[in-house]
């Protein structure tokens, strides 16, 4: 299988790429992004001839579709706001697609592409990041070990990483996504129905994400 990773030298892809290269059946892994220099540097670090640099701007749909036709599957690991156009490009190219999530509102837009993907014979798997994603798999695996499950509680946490100068914040993933998570309305489920909740504010008046 030949797999293309958009945002291929980003924080998330730095874990994904080594996993792919250690997986059986992977013939080639494309490290794709706007910076050819960064893509080549990350390829060199892999020390594996199956990893190749692919300079491409994901916002250029014509060239993106043309490039995608050289691959079997695309992993969208760049900014979530590009989920819909990249998924549409994958469907047009006839290759399978997966992403790390869409803060719910983008995912709802993507679900409307179901019939188009189905007609094209393309499988699209959405939200395989931390949560939804990994936590769902962990919850389902745990449930198989039990006779009956009444409730599954999921909690996600992250560490504030400091580097260089004292107190320097290093975002764990795309800073634009972090800003959106803390400033946009958050989706919640109440009695089986989706609703929106405004960002919470602490005593200083600053936003604190309900996520």
pLDDT of residue 193: 84
Residue ranges of domains in the chain, CATH in brackets: 2-125 (3.40.50.720), 148-208 (no CATH)
Which contiguous run of DSSP H or E holds residue 156? none
pLDDT of residue 164: 56
* Closest by Cα among 22, 174, 21, 81 to 31: 21
Banded pLDDT at 190 (limits 50, 70, 90): confident
Q: Is 129 helix (H, G, I), strand (E, B) or coil?
A: strand
Packing angle between helix 13-21 and helix 36-46, nearest 10 degrees? 40
* pLDDT tens-digit readout, 120-178: 999 999 999 887 788 888 999 999 999 999 888 877 766 655 555 666 777 777 888 88
* pLDDT tens-digit readout, 65-87: 999 999 999 999 999 999 999 99
Scored b (16 or more CB within 10 A) or e, 43-75 reads beebeeeebbbbebebeeeeebbebbeebebbb
Beta-bridge partners for 188? 195
């Amino acid at each position: 299988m030949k797999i293309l990773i958009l945002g291929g030298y980003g924080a998330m892809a730095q874990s994904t790429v080594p996993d792919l290269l250690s997986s059986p059946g992977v013939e080639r892994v494309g490290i794709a992004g706007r910076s050819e220099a960064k893509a080549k540097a990350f390829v060199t670090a892999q020390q594996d001839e199956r990893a190749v640099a692919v300079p491409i701007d994901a916002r250029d749909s014509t060239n993106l579709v043309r490039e995608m036709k050289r691959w079997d599957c695309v992993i969208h690991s760049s900014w979530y706001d590009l989920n819909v156009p990249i998924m549409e490009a994958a469907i047009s190219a006839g290759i399978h697609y997966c992403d790390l999530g869409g803060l719910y509102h983008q995912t709802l837009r993507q679900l409307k592409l179901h019939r188009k993907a189905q007609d094209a014979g393309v499988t699209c798997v959405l939200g395989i990041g931390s949560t939804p994603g990994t936590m769902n798999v962990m919850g389902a695996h745990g449930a198989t070990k039990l006779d009956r499950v009444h409730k599954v509680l999921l909690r996600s946490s992250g560490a504030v990483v400091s580097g260089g100068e004292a107190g320097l914040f290093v975002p764990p993933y795309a800073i634009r996504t972090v800003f959106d998570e803390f400033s946009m309305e958050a989706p919640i489920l109440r009695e089986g129905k989706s609703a929106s909740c405004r960002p919470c504010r602490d005593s200083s008046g600053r936003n604190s994400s309900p996520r």
